[in-house]
Amino acid sequence: MDVYLVRHAIAHERNRKRWPNDALRPLTPAGKQKFRKAARGLARLLPKSVQVFTSPYIRARDTASILTAATEVRKATERPELASGQPARKTFEFLRTLKSKAVVLVGHEPNLSTLLAAAIAGERARTKILFKKGGAACFEFSGSVLAGQATLKWLVPPRVLRHLK
């Protein structure tokens, strides 16, 4: 199984007055514009049969929506395992339920870098990974979906995705 991780695009800064519930904090107009370009580049790297799953937070859902518009995927499916603050083990459990050969997971930091580190180095890994907003990574499980059993294929910042032709 190939797992593609996508960090949500640039969102507004946290502001408890504007968004008392951080799950409702949206993307900025510039974040949407930049990610539309990045999504076109990312779409070139994704297989046609990929499934897209997203955090239920609005900024991740909107990022996933921009990505699905750039691909042949109809829509993204919300998954609570991808919400901010969820442990990597919940995502591994979810991935084990899937029959897909390729999935995209749209989510947040530090969840995504923790998941990536656990996938390639094990659940106790303390690896630091710089995962920019709107960036993407791909790792592969050639056998069972277990922590420490994945191979990193690539990690790409959004600037590179925007320039893929």
Under DSSP, is residue 104 helix (H, G, I), strand (E, B) or coil?
strand
pLDDT in 10s for each residue of the chain, 165 residues: 999 999 999 999 999 999 999 999 999 999 999 999 999 999 999 998 899 999 999 999 999 999 999 998 889 999 999 999 999 999 999 999 999 999 999 999 999 999 999 999 998 888 889 999 999 999 999 999 999 999 999 999 999 999 997
Beta strands 51-54; 136-141: pairing state: unpaired
Is residue 18 a contact partner of residue 12, using CB atoms and an 8 Å limit?
Answer: yes
Domains of the chain (ranges; CATH) run 2-163 (3.40.50.1240)
What is d(CA 45, CA 161) in angstroms, rounded to the nearest whole number? 9
Helix and strand numbers, DSSP H then E, in the chain = 5, 6
Is residue 32 a contact partner of residue 8, using CB atoms and an 8 Å limit?
Answer: no
pTM: 0.96
